[in-house]
Copies of this chain bind each other. A is one copy, B any other.
Amino acid sequence: MELLKKRILKDGFVLEGQILKVDSFLNHQIDVELMWEMGKEFHRLFDDKITKVLTVEASGIAVASITALNYKVPMLFAKKGARKNSGNELYSAKSFSYTKGEPYELVVSKKYLNKDDKVLIIDDFLAHGMACTAMLDICKQAGAEVVGIGIVIEKSFQKGRSELEKTGIRIESLVRVASMSEGTIEFLNE
């Protein structure tokens, strides 16, 4: 997605530890008009009959909501860790945050995901693929069909995509970052 590549080159920057900082438009301050364009693009890429868009709190919520608005279907976000008010009827799966350096649990209420659902998983980043793997696990527990995985920014130099491809599920990333050596962002030529 050219619009997004340009925006990353204009406003993104690289931090130590292969971190791409895009919090001016993607995951702290949110450019909602850009999100609308992303949602349209996901809709174009996955034109299947989707019943639900699934993401993880917190930084996936904005793009997943606006994508779901394009499909006119509900968005469901997995919560991190069991909550006092969650009730006992939860699907759960373990994940790991490389940013925070700690494991965490993702939970989804059993009421909102079932075998009739056709799910589009949306997330802001794909790096090691831990969050997506946990969401796939939750969909499997629910017996829901995962139609595809839509990623805003993929770090193609990390193992996430190759891990997820083993499942046979279609993955579409709006941009694929090939390298960020010495602070220079290079995209994969496709």
Which of A71-79, A168-176, A179-187 faces chain B? A71-79
The 8 A CB mask of A73-102 against B (1 = contact, 0 = none) is 111110100011100000000000001110
The interface residues of chain B lying within 8 Å CB-to-CB of A45 are none
The 8 A CB mask of A18-33 against B (1 = contact, 0 = none) is 0101011100111111
**A136 interfacial by beta-carbon distance below 8 Å:** no
**A104 interfacial by beta-carbon distance below 8 Å:** no
The interface residues of chain B lying within 8 Å CB-to-CB of A79 are 28, 58
Within the complex, which residue of B30, B73, B101, B112 is in contact with A65, where a contact is CB–CB below 8 Å? Answer: B30
**A111 interfacial by beta-carbon distance below 8 Å:** yes
Q: Is the CB of A30 within 8 A of B85?
A: no
Q: From DSSP, what is the main secondary structure of chain A's interface residues?
A: mixed
Within the complex, which residue of B57, B73, B112 is in contact with A57, where a contact is CB–CB below 8 Å? Answer: B57
**A157 interfacial by beta-carbon distance below 8 Å:** no
- A25–B73 Cα distance when bound, in Å, is 11
**A9 interfacial by beta-carbon distance below 8 Å:** no
Interface size on A, residues (CB 8 A): 39
Q: Is the CB of A29 within 8 A of B62?
A: no
Q: Is the CB of B32 within 8 A of A75?
A: yes
A36 to B: closest C-beta gap in Å: 6
A120 to B: closest C-beta gap in Å: 13
Q: Is the CB of A29 within 8 A of B112?
A: yes
The interface residues of chain B lying within 8 Å CB-to-CB of A77 are 28, 30, 58, 62
Additional A-B contact list (8), CB under 8 Å, known A15-B85, A30-B76, A61-B61 = A25-B74, A29-B111, A33-B69, A33-B72, A58-B79, A65-B65, A84-B100, A84-B101
